[in-house]
Amino acid sequence: MSAGRKLKIMSEKYTASFEWSVKSSVLQQRLLVFVHLMAVTALMLSALALIYKAVLMVSILISGGYYYRTFGRTGTLTFRYTDAFGWEQWVNNEFKTIRPLKSTVLTPQVIVLHYQMDDKPKYLAIFNDALNPESFRQLSVQLKIAGLIET
């Protein structure tokens, strides 16, 4: 076996590969409901005329329904990082290349992943209950290693 072939086999064996399946977050769903209930409470305590309260109430309920459907139940999103291909997201039965941006925010409770896919900016809030604790920590560490997060 040549030295070049042996080096290639060793490098394939030791390439870093991580995959995260982000599930729907109960914490995110509760937060969405809480924020909209607070808006309804503030509206009910206001001194507006009844007709204005009704119009604003309907708009808050429509907003709540929209955001709950859009962000409250995301299904499962799969991301992976490999040394060979970098960051990718599973979309339409294939992995597409993404580029995490420096505006990504990292806290112990939530990661707000700001990334580009197909030259379009996207945001994703990943709450700590959307992954198991080890995967959430691993994703945080990988983002720090990538140099995206200033510590």
Give the angle 86-118-113 at the CA atoms, nearest 5°.
60
Question: Could you tell me the pTM of the whole model?
Answer: 0.75
Domain ranges of the chain: 10-23+75-145, 26-72
Which residue type is seen at 44?
A: M
Q: For residue range 98-132, what is the model confidence (pLDDT) as tens digits?
A: 999 889 999 999 999 999 999 899 998 999 999 99
Whether residue 6 is predicted with pLDDT greater than 70 in this model: the reply is no
Distances 73 to 67, 77, 146 between C-alpha atoms, Å = 9, 11, 29
Each residue's pLDDT tens digit, 46-96: 999 999 999 999 999 999 888 888 776 667 889 999 888 889 998 888 899
Cα 77 from Cα 22, distance rounded (Å): 5
Confidence class of residue 146 from pLDDT cuts 50, 70 and 90?
A: confident
Contacts of 144 (CB under 8 A, 6+ apart): 106, 151
